Amino acid sequence: MRPIMIALMGLTFSLSALPAHAVDLPPAPILDDADEPSDAGLYLRGDIGVIDQLVTRGGRDPASTLPLVRSRFDRDVVIGGGLGYQLSPWFRADVTVDHRFEAAFKGTRLAPVTLQVLDRADFEATTLLVNGYVDLPLWSGVTPYLGAGIGASYNRLSGAERQVSSDLVSGNLHLPSRTETAFAWALMGGLAFDIGASFKIDLGYRYTHLGSARTHSTGLDAPIRAKDIDAHEFRVGARYMFD
């Protein structure tokens, strides 16, 4: 037994005598993510589109005025721009300003068979919206997205006139222009295509609720009113990401 104990003690002293660096662990790797790409950053955007349909409901006029029974807008063009920030690959937000150019408004009022009453005006609207988007980077270079926005719309009816004609008399009544501020909101969706050089091409659809618009009254007749104006917009745009 004594020889075994002596051998174990000798082995212990031999291990303790080895240089300290022989049992040192290698240094921990230094993690440096400075070279990893980041999707976060500031971006500029610009858009142009066609308003395929503007829809409205006639406003409520006094009982003494012939009711508006049919109304429509012509197709229109919208342009806009904005500044945004990509917070992550999945989410971004921006502030946008969009202007919808003059679209002809036409309305027909209920009248006796021998009387025809037509309302005409030019409608334009400028919206200021704060928007948020959920990006879905499912494919390389192509990103579907969904978004929503809220803000204000500055709606204007100008060049308004009411045409009255019958078998006996006809004439035009001109109504003063007016600009109204209304609550606005939007829902949107589309596809973004990465074309390199920090640029993305955006193809999208936007539904925008613009609120209401009206002219001033002459005091002799009711104003022209358009209530709950909705725009269906098909848009193409570009985004530039700052490095």
- Domain range for 217 is 29-241
Residue that wins the pLDDT comparison between 137 and 27:
137
The predicted structure's pLDDT at residue 170: 78
Q: Which residue has the higher pLDDT, 5 or 239?
A: 239
17 is a domain residue: no
Is 5 a domain residue?
Answer: no
**22 or 202, higher pLDDT:** 202
Global confidence as pTM:
0.76
Contact 91, 133 (CB under 8 A): yes
24 located within any domain? no
Residue 143 in domain = yes
> How many domains is the chain built from?
1
Q: Is residue 78 part of a domain?
A: yes
- CATH code for position 132: 2.40.160.20
Residue 4 domain flag: no
pLDDT tens per residue, range 73-116: 888 899 999 999 999 999 999 999 999 998 888 877 766 667 77
Residue 15 is assigned to a structural domain of this protein: no
User: Does residue 18 register a pLDDT over 60?
Assistant: no
Q: Residues near 168 by Cβ (< 8 Å), separated by ≥ 6?
A: none
Token digits for 206?
A: 């936007």
- Range 199-208 average pLDDT: 96
3-state DSSP call for residue 3? helix
For 131, the 3-state DSSP assignment is strand
Written as six digits, the tokens of 134 are 């959920």
20: in domain? no
